[in-house]
């Protein structure tokens, strides 16, 4: 058994990590860390998880290095940055779910994470990226920085165009729609049920740091290019799951059949990416309700000749494929397990 620790155990991603590790045949939960709720059992913090693990939340010290083989940091970026610095050479594997080490371009990091001091050398040691695209780099990697939830959806949606077909994209306009669990638990009036229920909240209308990540990552890619990428993000009236709509303008000539084939080919060996035709099932897909609770990312590509564009839609569960599930997936790869180990649950629908 691989010994796993979770820091940030009382948060949404922390709870989801506990859920997934508890169900995992090869991971054993041996440490729960956090600065709030110290001394509490998981069952007191997460009403769904009535499990007795014999663990309570503890402050993180260097002693954790003796207790875990892999440490998941489900912490705010400034906390992750500090913990990573402290533990980088002591814990065999650190998987950071925050944004602390996602962006490599210094100006971009400072623009989007002004409160997280840049640690250039340490950042360079982190492997970043959606596992479907950088699997080889993850094997044995000691430090892994997980993409943001929107960034995962977006990258999985665009990669077949740039990395797969090698297209040069002139303009990519991204519209992101997310449920209320996307922003973590913050005690703000706007996040109370009366105001979030029924809302279409334009909370980031002129840019989102997850888009900056994607630009930063795909720009370093070997083939294809994106000249302009802009994003707007909205909170809608459900809890779990997000959809990114990418409106792609390119001079390249493509058609629906070619696009569909390219996406199928690109994700042939990737069991967590489901390339779906828009009308293949009872309801139009992709729709995040169809991946709820699972590690799938559903992707649909549509040629829109009237609009002179390609429409790429990606849906995922922001707490699973967008956070805890992907964290377990990269840990699986890191330790040489089949990447789907412990992640074979089907989506729960309707819910």
What residues between 228 and 287 interact with a second copy by CB under 8 A?
Answer: 228, 230-232, 234, 236-243, 245, 247, 249, 274, 276, 278, 280-287
Length of the chain: 351
Pick out residues in 153-182 that bind a second copy (CB under 8 A). 171, 173, 175, 177, 179-181
Q: Backbone phi, then psi, for 203, in 5-degree steps?
A: -80, -20
Known catalytic membership, residue 149: yes
- Tokens standing for residue 256: 């629906």
Distance of closest approach, residue 299 Cβ to a second copy, in angstroms: 12
Closest of 143, 147, 141 to residue 129, by C-alpha: 147
User: By C-beta, is 253 or 306 nearer to a second copy?
Assistant: 306
Helix (H) or strand (E) holding 121: helix 120-125
Q: Which is nearer to a second copy, 164 or 207 (CB)?
A: 207
Q: Which of residues 327-346 bind a second copy (CB under 8 A)?
A: 344-346
d(CA 156, CA 314): 7
Q: Which is nearer to a second copy, 143 or 313 (CB)?
A: 313
| Pairwise CA distance, residues 49 & 274, whole Å | 29
Indicate the residue among 12 and 84 with the shorter CB distance to a second copy: 12
- Inter-residue contact 226 to 158 (CB < 8 Å): yes
- What DSSP element (H or E) covers 15? helix 12-22
209 binds a second copy (CB under 8 A): no
Residues 133-154 as b/e (b if ≥16 CB within 10 A, e otherwise) read bbbeebeebebbbbbbbbbbbb
CB of 14 to a second copy, least distance (A): 13
Strands laid side by side in the 297-304 sheet: 201-204, 225-235, 168-178, 242-250, 309-316, 297-304, 273-275
Tell the smallest beta-carbon distance from residue 98 to a second copy (Å). Answer: 19
- Which residue stretch of 53-61, 67-75, 139-147, 185-193 sits at the interface with a second copy (rule: CB under 8 A)? 185-193
**Binding flags for a second copy, 283-322, as an x/- string (CB under 8 A):** xxxxxxxxxxxx-x-x-x-xxx-xxxx-x-x-x-------
# residues near a second copy by CB under 8 A: 97
Binders of a second copy among residues 23 to 82 (CB under 8 A) are: 23, 43-51
CB atoms within 10 A of CB 67: 15
Q: How far is the CB of 109 from a second copy (least distance, A)?
A: 15
Structure token digits, residue 72: 């998941």
C-beta of 129 vs 179, nearer to a second copy = 179
> Rounded to the nearest whole angstrom, what is the least distance from the CB of residue 334 to a second copy in the complex?
23
Catalytic residue IDs: 149
């Amino acid at each position: 058994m691989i010994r796993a620790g979770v820091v940030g155990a009382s948060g949404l991603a922390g709870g989801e990590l506990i859920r997934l590790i508890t169900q995992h045949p090869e991971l054993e939960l041996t440490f729960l860390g956090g600065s709030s709720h110290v001394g509490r059992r998981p069952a007191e913090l997460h009403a769904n998880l009535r499990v007795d693990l014999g663990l309570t939340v503890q402050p993180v010290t260097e002693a954790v290095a003796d207790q875990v083989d892999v440490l998941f940091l489900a912490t705010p970026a400034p906390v992750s940055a500090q913990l990573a610095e402290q533990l980088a050479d002591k814990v065999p594997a650190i998987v950071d779910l925050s944004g602390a080490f996602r962006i490599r371009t210094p100006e971009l990091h400072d623009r989007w994470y002004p409160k997280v001091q840049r640690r250039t050398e340490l950042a360079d040691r982190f492997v970043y990226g959606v596992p479907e695209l950088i699997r080889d780099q993850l094997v044995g990697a000691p430090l892994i920085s997980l993409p943001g939830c929107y960034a995962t959806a977006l990258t999985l949606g665009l990669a077949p165009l740039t990395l797969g077909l090698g297209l040069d994209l002139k303009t990519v306009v991204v519209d992101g729609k997310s449920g209320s669990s996307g922003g973590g638990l913050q005690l703000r009036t706007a996040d109370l049920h009366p105001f979030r229920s029924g809302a279409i909240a334009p909370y980031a209308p002129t840019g989102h740091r997850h888009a900056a990540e994607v630009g930063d990552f795909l720009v370093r890619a070997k083939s294809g290019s994106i000249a302009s990428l802009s994003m707007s993000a909205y909170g809608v009236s459900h809890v779990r799951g997000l959809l990114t709509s990418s409106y792609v303008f390119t001079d390249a000539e493509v058609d629906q059949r070619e696009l569909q084939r390219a996406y199928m080919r690109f994700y042939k060996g990737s069991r967590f990416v489901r390339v779906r035709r828009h009308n293949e099932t009872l309801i139009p897909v992709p729709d995040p309700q169809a991946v709820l609770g699972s590690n799938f990312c559903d992707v649909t590509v549509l040629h829109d000749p009237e609009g002179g564009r390609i429409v790429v839609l990606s849906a995922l569960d922001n707490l699973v494929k967008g956070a805890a599930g992907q964290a377990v997936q990269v840990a699986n790869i890191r330790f040489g397990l089949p990447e789907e180990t412990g992640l074979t649950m089907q989506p729960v629908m309707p819910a």
